[in-house]
Copies of this chain bind each other. A is one copy, B any other.
């Protein structure tokens, strides 16, 4: 048997549970207490499209180096689900650890001899201590948490404090939970030698960072961004964004005197209605958004085309999931890029934002409303299940004291009264963006008719070719203007000069950062640029021009961002090498390192090195 893995503050623990068995909160406690110990950690839920009884996993990545993307591989498996026993055991790294419920014995054939096996009589303990079936089930989870805390040498105080916080209010629940916790600890301390090779040591590497999921953060960004109307239709993984918005609004948006709401949330009958309400509200001057996922994007196509052509602001959060069709509703992907960028029939181009984590999800959510108002067009915030539904450790959310909303070009009653010329589609500033008026502004001036048909610069119905072309050209010009307004990409230059570059975006960021370090150790240097929006900033094209070969890392099958880049940038496809991960699990550093490493090994680095100064 290989050496048992020995690692401190740098390993992966995975919990295999049954959906609806109450393990979620115990597992969350485990992850949270590690953070409280000052150790960077991230956790990911892998759950089924079902409510109760199917397999679910909880993967915790602990990394003192602060690598919080998925690593791949498992150092310790907490195997609580008989249904998935075999695949769970198989996933453990050689030298790794298996923790399981040994109450009823299993044949040796069920185990591996290259791992350390720790069997705890969890059910036995729990049944001994509790009579009520539900209690037995629930506390079993806390018992294994206790056992783990001892095996991994965790700071018990941190856990106990968290339990205290969690049940604040329902204090009667605190004691029994603490008791269960200690049942587990006592068993481990008594029966096992603690700690094992994997251990946690109090550190000071978390700092000001917070633990939050992207849907929660984006929802708060909507509150800060001044959204007053939300229309949505439930769909995994986006529902929790709309629900979080409601929660935040109840906290921040109640009129202190009247106790009435400074917001309106409507759960629509479907996605056609939710986007329709957003379009109607935005047309009428409110900041409005909807949150959905792939199937919703498909249903919203017609309205998105109307908003593009009639030039109505709209903010759409697409929390991407496994696709096409119903696909893998509880898995992650970046595969809606084309269907959003070119949403609807005819010639259309839409603005997309690509936050890398919950921190940017908050920032871009607020930003999206300014962009939508400024550009008078739909703006998509492209989240995914990994960012949206998992708790990430990120920099604290930030808001500038004297930041003002940019409501864009809205002509006021005063301006109309003063006789300023108003043409709804008249490009007075030469940036392709025209002035609008809101209904009810002025008794006799500025009223116009909004429609999805062709019109002239004064919003009059027209079937004239020249009016149509004039308008479509202006829309292209407006899209060019958008380049300058959207979040700029983030560049990083390799330690050594290199002809190789990499482009990535969204939730790929943490895995990419980790991969770059590993590649560097292998002597492979890559300049990188993280794309944060479509249309592409000129820096992105310059970056491509400055490198011979660029790897474009995406989490979809068809290299969708690459196709946008090739077309908009008139780039020779040969120079953009797609690196594609799309099995529904978050991309890992290991995958990127292997994919890029293998290719560059083929290209034989030697001659390249020579080429460098």
Nearest-Cβ distance from residue A577 to partner chain B, whole angstroms = 11
Any chain B CB within 8 A of the CB of A245?
A: no
Q: Which residues of B contact A306 (CB under 8 A)?
A: 325-326
Q: Which residues of B contact A558 (CB under 8 A)?
A: 347, 349
| Residues 215-248 of A contacting B (Cβ, < 8 Å) | none
Cβ–Cβ contact B294 & A298, under 8 A? no
Query: A582 and B294 in contact (CB under 8 A), knowing A335-B347, A339-B345, A347-B557?
Result: no
Query: A48 and B573 in contact (CB under 8 A), knowing A335-B346, A557-B476?
Result: no
Contact among B298, B454, B476, B570 with A327 in the assembled complex (CB-CB below 8 Å): B454
Nearest-Cβ distance from residue A390 to partner chain B, whole angstroms = 17
Q: Which residues of B contact A302 (CB under 8 A)?
A: 295, 298-299, 325
Which bracket fits the contact residues of A? 35 or more
Cβ–Cβ contact A49 & B346, under 8 A? no
How far is it, in angstroms, between the C-alpha of A322 and the C-alpha of B452 when the chains are bound? 11
Query: A347 and B322 in contact (CB under 8 A), knowing A301-B298, A566-B566, A583-B466?
Result: no
How far is it, in angstroms, between the C-alpha of A556 and the C-alpha of B583 when the chains are bound? 35
Any chain B CB within 8 A of the CB of A149?
A: no
Contact among B325, B348, B465 with A585 in the assembled complex (CB-CB below 8 Å): B465
How far is it, in angstroms, between the C-alpha of A336 and the C-alpha of B302 when the chains are bound? 13
Contact among B49, B453, B567 with A328 in the assembled complex (CB-CB below 8 Å): B453
How far is it, in angstroms, between the C-alpha of A594 and the C-alpha of B144 when the chains are bound? 78
Cβ–Cβ contact B454 & A322, under 8 A? yes
Any chain B CB within 8 A of the CB of A175?
A: no
Any chain B CB within 8 A of the CB of A262?
A: no
Any chain B CB within 8 A of the CB of A254?
A: no
Q: Is the interface of A mostly helix, strand, loop or mixed?
A: mixed
Any chain B CB within 8 A of the CB of A308?
A: yes
Cβ–Cβ contact B49 & A347, under 8 A? no
Flag A48-68 by CB within 8 Å of B: 1 or 0 each: 110000000000000000000
Q: Which residues of B contact A556 (CB under 8 A)?
A: 346-347
Any chain B CB within 8 A of the CB of A469?
A: yes
Q: Which residues of B contact A476 (CB under 8 A)?
A: 557
Cβ–Cβ contact B572 & A574, under 8 A? yes
Any chain B CB within 8 A of the CB of A323?
A: yes
Query: A346 and B583 in contact (CB under 8 A), knowing A309-B325, A572-B574?
Result: no
Nearest-Cβ distance from residue A385 to partner chain B, whole angstroms = 13
How far is it, in angstroms, between the C-alpha of A556 and the C-alpha of B348 when the chains are bound? 11
Cβ–Cβ contact A468 & B563, under 8 A? no
Flag A559-593 by CB within 8 Å of B: 1 or 0 each: 01011001100111110000000111100000000
Nearest-Cβ distance from residue A492 to partner chain B, whole angstroms = 27
| Residues 265-303 of A contacting B (Cβ, < 8 Å) | 294-295, 297-299, 301-302
Nearest-Cβ distance from residue A235 to partner chain B, whole angstroms = 11
8 closest Cβ pairs, A-B complex: A323-B346, A324-B346, A465-B583, A325-B452, A294-B345, A326-B452, A298-B301, A298-B302
A-B contact pairs, 25 of them (CB 8 A): A48-B463, A299-B299, A299-B301, A301-B301, A305-B324, A306-B326, A309-B325, A323-B345, A325-B344, A325-B453, A328-B468, A330-B463, A338-B342, A339-B345, A347-B557, A349-B558, A466-B583, A563-B563, A563-B567, A566-B566, A566-B567, A566-B573, A567-B573, A570-B574, A572-B574
